[in-house]
Amino acid sequence: MKSHRRGIQIIVLLVLIVLAGTLGYHVIEGWSWFDSLYMTVITLATVGYGETHPLSTPGRVFTIFLIMGGMGIILYGVSEVTQFLLRGGIGGILRRRKMERLIRESAQHYILCGVGKNGHYVLEELLKTKRPIVVVERDQAKVAELQEREIPAIHGDASDDAVLRAAGIEKAAGLVTTLPEDKDNLFVVITARGLNPNLRIIAKLDDVRVREKFVRSGADSAISASYIGGLRMASELVRPKTTSFLDQMLRDDSGLRVDEVNIGASSPHVNKELRDCDVIASSGVVLVSLKRNGGGFQFNPPGETVLQGGDALIVIGTPEQVEGLRREL
């Protein structure tokens, strides 16, 4: 915005100096309007074509001031253009246009509202597991950093309908809001649920007493960092090796993940027994559990278990293995 305002200022100053020069020559020398304009242009451009008509002494004095004023404006304009280029202005414009195109083309992506202390880790995990993502962030500097990393990001307030629509909320698969204040996250939940009733919404909260309020307002889950932190500390105390194993999966960029793969109703593997479903074995993942649609979990399901549309397989594997199995099922 500042660059646009300065550009407009430079154009206005140039127009004013040209008008002033044209009017000055017309009044002082009595030349026609066209001759006055021509003399003004060649004087400011310093092309050295020579005087249109012989100048009187007052005309020469006026020309001196016209050159000084015009050169000052031109040098100011050149300086602004140079700074704009050095700041990556053109690159920034092209980058923003590329981001806007990527966001418009996004579908079944995840919207992250806020890249703070918690949002940073959400972002990195979504990137590691190769999920499509669009970030909504209030801090313009953070937005610029994300765009430099080729991560689609929008500057704005996530509780604003227009901003969420710009992030493609109607086509999104899920949204997570990690803003600093509970009230801000609650506003985002209400806004997002109104724009997309089928969206999966996860919200961060600090006060566990308001969790039910988040759920009633449309959040599928509300996560307390303090609560999760307490559970983690207890796990470190009583089951350190298990905790270390899970940590290794999360911290290793190319390592394993516990993930879920949904079986579509039109999947060719519906009504097959698990032992006959070769794509699971060939994918390289480890099947941990099966969750029936609307039912409970079945840990280590036996081979004669019949797959049904809407089932979810809980598996351990690399992001590439899981994504390959997801495409098959």
Q: Dump pLDDT digits (tens) for 67-120.
A: 888 888 878 777 777 766 655 555 566 666 777 787 888 889 999 999 988 999
Cα separation, 59 vs 232, whole angstroms:
84
Q: How far is CA 78 from the centre of its chain?
A: 33
The pTM score is 0.61
DSSP classification of residue 180:
S
pLDDT score for 134: 94
Most confident of 26-40, 96-110, 165-179, 230-244: 165-179
Name the fold adopted by 2-86.
Helix Hairpins (1.10.287)
Helix residue spans in the chain (DSSP H): 2-28, 33-45, 57-86, 89-105, 117-128, 140-148, 161-166, 182-195, 211-217, 225-238, 240-251, 278-283, 319-328
Domain ranges of the chain: 2-86, 95-230, 256-328
Q: How far is CA 76 from CA 5, 6, 11, 44, in A?
A: 14, 10, 11, 14
pLDDT one-digit tens code per residue, 5-23 = 777 777 888 888 889 888 9
**What residues contact 169, with CB distance under 8 A and at least 6 apart?**
111, 175, 192, 195, 196, 199
| Domain 95-230, CATH | 3.40.50.720
Fold of the CATH domain 256-328: Alpha-Beta Plaits (3.30.70)
Output 45 or 235, whichever has higher pLDDT. Answer: 235
| Single-letter residue type at 14 | L
Instruction: Identify which of 103, 27, 12, 113 has the alpha carbon closest to the alpha carbon of residue 62.
Output: 27
